[in-house]
Amino acid sequence: MPGKTTRREMILRTLGAAGLLAGGGFPPALTTTRAPAATDLPDRSEAAPSSPVSIQQCESYEPKLLRRRLDAALDQIGGIGPLVKGKTVTIKLNCTGEVKDLLGRPSYETYHVHPNLVGALCAAIHDAGAKRIVLVEAWYYNEPPEEVLTKAGWDLAAIKSAGGNDVTFENTRNKGRWPSYGRIKVPWGGFIFPAFDVNQCYINTDVFVSLGKMKNHACAGVTMTLKNLFGITPTALYGDDAPNEKTLSARGAVIHNGTRKVPEGVPGEIDHKLPADWKYRVPRVVADCCGARPVDLAVIDGIHTVSGGEGWWINGVALAEPKLLFAGRNAVCTDALCATVMGWDPQGPHMQPPFPGENHLRLLASVGVGTNNVKRIEVRGLSVEKALHPFKMKLAAASCMPDYRYMRTV
């Protein structure tokens, strides 16, 4: 006799349809598109590790409320004391693109992580015994991050105080204060790149945190904590005018479209006979980045955000207020659960909503980084049913690259 179907199972079974409806249906061109085989590696999806994920309702960015909700989320995944005590912690922020207001709201209430959440996370990490906190992002600015963020409305004094005044900032678009780049290798050999040369902040740290935003993405389908790692690749080496330590260019030719090679001495890409097309390249580079620089703690800002894309350069983005926080130790599990709450199937096939190209969650599950099967992920805190907040997205038609070459300062 068949077992009784729970309400949660029913919701999870129908999420594919929910995502289809939210996306406006499958475009005819996509239903027949097949992705080339990723690699000849064995599929490890069924054995991919699972780790609990906490979902917290958080109605606003009020600092005391944020701290309570974040503490609850961190407690529900086992706490962070043993992870960070006495250690250097590096937090990769999601502050993609030029700082601009969007739809009448500042960037940190739409497509960037909120400074109050950054402060709450720094406070939690400091109180758990961390020795030092480094906040990093590949900002498209020559000015120091402190200057850029202050002009963007961030209260840096509050963030530094929250972290016990042991908080520093570094722009990782180039080698920064380090004498050279460091090299990180992809454990499975790479879907596109076997290794990356990166700012040494990503290497000379004990703990790595990805603080992402709950958003759609024109190339990757969803952003969160995994796509956030795309930004660890320095534009000085992977930008359109590389090598150039003063670059303000994006990564269009080298990474998105593969029409330009990396500079001499930088690990070149593997010849998988892929089309020069972001539909394959961007998701695979995201997966490679996540393999080369594993995430120790994943936190997602889903309080105020946008749906339909990742920033002001995407047409059709709309305001969204899910009023949610997510935290987990495994970034694939955390992003998979967030995608589910957005109304999407994290196990969904390549080239189907919300994924205009390949599904990087499937790629990462296939090499055993983490499971994207939400039936195997323990949900703590708010249930999926209560957290459900469907997003809408129009699939990208040709390109998802903004033009940062002539970027002005804030």
Concatenating the DSSP letter of every residue in 39-91 gives -SSPP-GGG-----EEEEE-----HHHHHHHHHHHHHHTT-SHHHHTTSEEEE
Please give the pLDDT value at position 201.
98
Do residues 327 and 224 lie in contact, with contact meaning Cβ atoms separated by under 8 Å? no
Q: Region 173-187: what's the mean pLDDT?
A: 97
For residue 341, is pLDDT > 60?
A: yes
d(CA 162, CA 170): 18
Q: Please write the tens of the pLDDT for every residue from 28-72.
A: 333 334 555 556 788 999 999 999 999 999 999 999 999 999 999
| pLDDT exceeds 80 at position 4 | no
- Structural Rg of the chain based on CA atoms: 20
pTM of the model: 0.90
Residue 162, CA distances (Å) to 145, 157, 226, 314 in order: 18, 8, 26, 34
More confident residue, 302 or 7: 302
Contacts of 194 (CB under 8 A, 6+ apart): 185, 186, 267, 270
The DSSP bridge pattern shows strands 182-185 and 195-198 to be antiparallel
- What does the pLDDT read at residue 79? 98
Res 261: pLDDT: 95
What average pLDDT does the chain have? 89
